[in-house]
Amino acid sequence: MATNDSALSRWMNSLDVLVEKRYRQAAAGMKLLANPPAADVGTSECEVAYKKDKMRLLHYTGGPQKKAPVPVLLVYALINRPYILDLQQDRSVVQTLLGRGLDIYMIDWGKPTDGDRFLGLEDYVERYMDDCFDVIMEKSGQKSISVLGYCIGGYIASVYASLHPEKVRNIALMASPLDFGIEEGMLHLWTKAEYFNPELVVEAFGNAPSEFLNSGFTMLDPIGNTVIKYMGLAENIEDKEFVDMFFRMEKWLSDGIPVAGAFYIDLIRDGYQRNLFVKNQLRVNSRKASVDNLTMPMLAIVAEKDHIVPPSSTLGLLKVAPSKDKTTFSFPTGHIGLSVGSGSHKDLWPKVAKWFLDHSKTPSSKR
């Protein structure tokens, strides 16, 4: 009985502290509602080096004056906006790579509208990306450049590299779904041919709507994405840095864009359902996208807690590619944490920058 009494008194004593804390949090919450942070994103200085239809090739102009001769092209995914790679000054992949002397370009695919429903993998690879490569090679005077693909951007980049190996000096694949034959993760299960028909999505909507895609992503971590993250906000509501970052992330998450219909079918049918690329059977514009051509240095950047793209999916391509120079950086974070996590910017991205710098040393002659 004495034990219970003292436990009760300890509980009562700490209740004061908790009530005070909750009042403070409520007051901070009210202030936040009245004045939400601006959530500026993608603030690194850049110029548009090339534009075609809705796609823009951004060239970042900051960083040291003297840069490594071989530029790096960041190929973003077709889902949500590319500024996740440049979310805020101290958590920006673009800034980290620029700061270490790399010449950085990034593709912003733009937001597809109804008229873009016919854009397929072939268009993204052979029309848009090939043009970007030509523009960058022309500007830099290099015969080949490096490329870093994030998520689906890694799939597009590696298919491009298999079709145009002479233009790709090095390839880095960050959390990219490449080997779809793995039996891991919800997306791989839900998109199986016996359960899902991507043609039907396109017949109904034209493009795959962002709301449709987001509902699937939310279900990958159902309570985490709908309740736990807001509890985290409440808990840290007095921490300005946390709140600013939270709002930036929310802005990005709610800034979804549709995926062009034909590309969606190509990705689900030829990728998720048939795994044609890793099986060396993918054809783009009647040309074989042969993994045997992936002889350039390859870097896999995988997130150990990635519930969108399991690491084995990215590493599966490295297993079948004949390149003799393969490196893997595995980091204990999630799919998005790779690009915005403070730990990633402290420990991972400097290593990635070094990898690109080390693999850019051999002089490359003019075209």
Partner 1 sequence: MAAKRTGAARAKPRGKLEEPQPASPLREIMESQLDLWRRLNTKEGTDVGEATKEMAPLVAEHWAKIFDELSRSAAMMQTSENPLAIQEGLPKHLLANYNEMLKRVFLSKSFAARSGSSVRGLLEGVKAWNEAMDGTLKAMRIPSKADIDEIHEELYNLSKRVDYLVKSLENGGARGRRERRR
Structure tokens at 109: 């695919």
335 catalytically annotated? yes
Nearer CB in complex with partner 1: 196/242: 196
Q: What is the smallest separation between the CB atom of 159 and partner 1, expressed in angstroms?
A: 18
151 catalytically annotated? yes
Nearer CB in complex with partner 1: 104/202: 202
Return the residue of 26, 27, 48, 231 that touches partner 1, per CB under 8 A: 231
Choose one: 2-10, 93-101, 138-146, 244-252; the region binding partner 1 (CB under 8 A): 2-10
Structure tokens at 281: 């059977």
Nearer CB in complex with partner 1: 14/61: 14
Catalytic choice (151, 188, 266, 359): 151
Q: What is the smallest separation between the CB atom of 89 and partner 1, expressed in angstroms?
A: 31
Place of tokens 């001769």: 69
Binding mask 249-268 for partner 1 (x = CB under 8 A): --------------------
Q: What is the smallest separation between the CB atom of 336 and partner 1, expressed in angstroms?
A: 17
Residue 63 to residue 350: CA distance in whole angstroms: 14
* Binding of partner 1 by 18 (CB under 8 A): yes
Q: Which residues contact 203 (CB under 8 A, 6 or more apart)?
A: none
Return the residue of 123, 179, 270, 306 that touches partner 1, per CB under 8 A: 123
- At CB < 8 A and 24+ separation, what contacts does 213-218 make? 213/79, 213/256, 213/258, 213/259, 214/253, 214/256, 216/187, 216/190, 217/308
* Binding of partner 1 by 4 (CB under 8 A): yes
Choose one: 65-73, 219-227, 264-272, 328-336; the region binding partner 1 (CB under 8 A): 219-227
Residues 170-209 that bind partner 1 (CB under 8 A): 186, 189-190, 192, 194-197, 200-201, 203-206
Nearer CB in complex with partner 1: 154/337: 337
Choose one: 57-65, 157-165, 171-179, 224-232; the region binding partner 1 (CB under 8 A): 224-232
Return the residue of 107, 119, 136, 213 that touches partner 1, per CB under 8 A: 119
Catalytic choice (59, 188, 335, 359): 335
* Binding of partner 1 by 211 (CB under 8 A): no
Binding site for partner 1 (CB under 8 A): 3-4, 7, 10-11, 14-15, 17-18, 53, 114-115, 117-119, 123, 127, 186, 189-190, 192, 194-197, 200-201, 203-206, 219-224, 227-228, 231
Query: Catalytic residue numbers?
Result: 151, 306, 335
